Amino acid sequence: MIERTLFSPEHTLFRDTVRRFIDREIAPWHAQWEEDGIVPRELWHKAGAAGLLCCCVPEEYGGAGADYLYDVVVFEEMARAGYTGPGFMIHTDLVATYLRSFGTEEQKRHWLPKMVAGTAIGSLGMTEPHAGSDLKNIRTRAVRDGDDYVINGQKVFISNGQLCDVLVLATKTDSSAGAKGITLFLVEGDRPGFKRGRNLEKLGMKAQDTSELFFDNVRVPATNMLGREGEGFGLMMTKLAQERLAQAIRSAAVTEAVIEWTVEYTAQREAFDQTIADFQNTQFKLAELRTESVAGRVLTDRCIELFMKGELDAIDAAMAKMFLSNLHCRTVDECLQLFGGWGYMWEYPIARAYADARVVKIAGGSIEIMKLLIGRDMFKHHKKVPAPKLRAAR
């Protein structure tokens, strides 16, 4: 196995802390949270106290001022354990990042310390029933009224929607301007007119609340704007590489974990007077998956290095996201087959991993969008060559 060289001894110590937290505070209750469709707010408080949230937030805003690898450790260990309940990734990697990058000093001082402590939960409100990856065509409106904006519209598939205290909301402030008419706002969860719809029942990731949200004349002050009016689409585009990298990080960790579970299971389970691992088919399947998982890990770690240098571009992130998402889904499918009938039982982690996996080809930009971006980039420097004129036959 190729040794990873990203992490220092301090990161390794922190990884041990995260694993102990998961074993103590998440593992005993996660099955119940899957039935409930939500985790308790108390877990967020405990995670904040343990230093697992928003590790990169500077000390002046209540954070540890750590490097991005500390957040990576949290994402990897949650994924490796197979627990998708707490929406830590959305909270840390997106909402806190938007605030750090684009928020005013007042916004940062108000929200970031609370997010670090887990006393305020963040969510991202972009997707709408008719506009998934096509963000420029959202319909949620924000209309200026004196010193306020009045917001009307709806969102769907919003992670942390039932629990969120602050929402980074994408709106249209100019319906005729396309992408240039999008503006971001911070919307508090207790604003009059802000209504949480049902907690959606999903195929997988059952312990993470995912909501419909409705905005009925929600009035927010202009000071809640994130960035400037009309800049929202551009701000979102600057964070897509980071979002897709986080998806690749999670998929890489799950892929490795699922292979480990399968090796352990097939080495013990017997059929026809030998273990499942003794069959050549088992060895060949797992050899292929292990090789591809190492390739995926090398790609992901390289993208992490580039991101930390400020050099990760959207296309590299899209390739990592596409490759690891496809590998993630194929690995859980082929490994579940090696578990036989027990792999179909919810009590086995491989069954939950199978259900949880399918969304990775959709979330953070669908696989088809990734292919479109990569394909367009390949041909962007090639001008269209006119077809040769054919001379008429005599």
Mean pLDDT of the chain: 95
Size of the chain, expressed as the number of residues it contains: 394
pLDDT of residue 391: 58
Indicate the residue among 202, 228, 254 that finishes a domain: 228
What's the domain range around 130?
124-228
Structurally, the chain folds into a number of domains equal to 3
pLDDT of residue 135: 81
Distance CA 327, CA 248 (A): 10
CATH assignment at residue 282: 1.20.140.10
Does residue 164 lie within any of the structural domains?
Answer: yes
Distance CA 324, CA 76 (A): 14
221 and 241 share one domain: no
* pLDDT mean over 215-221: 98
DSSP readout, 32-69? HHHHHTS--HHHHHHHHHTT-S-TTS-GGGTS----HH
- Token look-up 């039932």 returns 162
Condensed to tens digits (0 to 9), the pLDDT of residues 245-292 reads 999 999 999 999 999 999 999 999 988 999 999 999 999 999 999 999
CATH assignment at residue 96: 1.10.540.10
pLDDT at 394 over 50: no
Does residue 292 lie within any of the structural domains?
Answer: yes
Distance CA 156, CA 196 (A): 10
For residues 161 and 196, the answer to whether their CB atoms sit within 8 Å is yes
103 and 131 share one domain: no
Does residue 384 lie within any of the structural domains?
Answer: no
Indicate the residue among 228, 261, 296 that finishes a domain: 228
The pTM assigned to this predicted structure is 0.93
Local confidence band at 85 (pLDDT 50, 70, 90 cut-offs): confident
pLDDT of residue 49: 98
Does residue 223 lie within any of the structural domains?
Answer: yes
pLDDT at 388 over 80: no
DSSP 15: H
Establish whether 243 is a catalytic residue: yes
Chain centroid to Cα 64, Å, comes to: 22
159 and 218 share one domain: yes
* pLDDT mean over 73-98: 95
CA atoms within 13 A on the CB side of 292: 19
Beta strand 166-172 pairing with 122-125: parallel
Indicate the residue among 181, 209, 228 that finishes a domain: 228
Condensed to tens digits (0 to 9), the pLDDT of residues 136-195 reads 889 999 999 999 999 999 999 999 999 999 999 999 999 999 899 999 999 999 999 999
* pLDDT mean over 229-233: 96
- Token look-up 């008419």 returns 181
Q: Which among 77, 243, 256, 292 is annotated as catalytic? A: 243
369 and 268 share one domain: yes
% the chain with pLDDT above 90: 90
263 and 366 share one domain: yes
